[in-house]
Amino acid sequence: MDIYKKFGELAAEGIAATLCTIIETKGSTPRKAGSKMIVTAEGITYGSVGGGKLELQVIADAKRVIEDGHPFLETYSAGEENDMHGYGECRIFIDPLPGNNTLYIFGAGHVGKEIAVIAGSYGFRITLIDHRQELMDKLNIPGVTNICCDYIEATANLPFSNNTYIVVTTPSHASDEEVTLLCAPKPHAYLGMIGSKKKVALARELFTKKGLEENLINSIDMPIGIPMNCETPREIAISILARLIDIKNSKQAE
């Protein structure tokens, strides 16, 4: 298998992954320097760095690297404690795939749809989530993945990382609050919830009662977007996209 070609294919598909490379070995090891393995966020692998418990540990570390977005260098034992026959060591560099910025939009109503329409041109890989089948059947926005399912189910099953941007614009205050509460502790670059100042104040009270840490509450962008005099759904979407672009570009500049 051409590992680099596969890595490029995953990047083109927007699939989060890491490239794990043995850069140095000492003693007897199942694989030598230069051996490579790709690990996706779901734990799917291509190639190998040695098998057994050593490889299981590398896979676990690779999945963590996908979440935090930072390269990782570690020395792994290939000794008997890993059910192998040698006593060597492998130094393995785990490099995250330069991440596409994933944007999850919860709610495919007027504002959510408008964000999905315009955000793809600004470096976001977009997934639109809504439980209303009749609404989702009418949407066919180029480059946007539609998921028709319960919002809570989606928060449990979607992958989250430090390159994940979350916009919550569901049809009800209650579901906005529930989705935001569930997403807040997950890895993300941005989380915003739509709503008036009154709604935001009530949401803060609820999040506090539910035990969400204050620093997480303060990190939620609510009311969502940059302050501007908006009237139409497209104008509100522009204010939200402006915030997303600001966070994305500031993160890339770090």
Task: Kindly state whether residues 202 and 175 are assigned to the same domain.
Answer: yes
The phi, psi pair for 242, rounded to 5°, reads: -60, -40
Task: Kindly state whether residues 158 and 124 are assigned to the same domain.
Answer: yes
Is the per-residue pLDDT at 81 higher than 70? Answer: no
pLDDT per residue as tens digits for the range 145-182? 899 999 999 998 888 888 899 999 999 999 999 999 99
**pLDDT for residue 77:** 85
CA 72 to chain centroid, in Å, comes to 18
Task: Kindly state whether residues 85 and 122 are assigned to the same domain.
Answer: no
Task: Kindly state whether residues 9 and 77 are assigned to the same domain.
Answer: yes
Neighbours of 95 (CB within 10 A): 17
pLDDT per residue as tens digits for the range 206-237? 999 999 999 999 999 999 999 889 889 999 99
Domain that holds residue 141: 101-253
Share of the chain above pLDDT 70, in %: 93
Cα of first residue to Cα of last residue in the chain, in angstroms, is: 35
Is the per-residue pLDDT at 186 higher than 80? Answer: yes
pLDDT per residue as tens digits for the range 106-116? 999 999 999 99
Task: Kindly state whether residues 86 and 165 are assigned to the same domain.
Answer: no
Taking every pair of C-alpha atoms in the chain, what is the biggest distance, in angstroms?
Answer: 69
Q: Residue 193 is encoded by which pair of tokens?
A: 């919830």
Last residue of a domain, one of 68, 96, 124: 96
**For residue 92, what pLDDT band results from cuts at 50, 70 and 90?**
very high
Last residue of a domain, one of 81, 96, 111: 96
**For residue 185, what pLDDT band results from cuts at 50, 70 and 90?**
very high
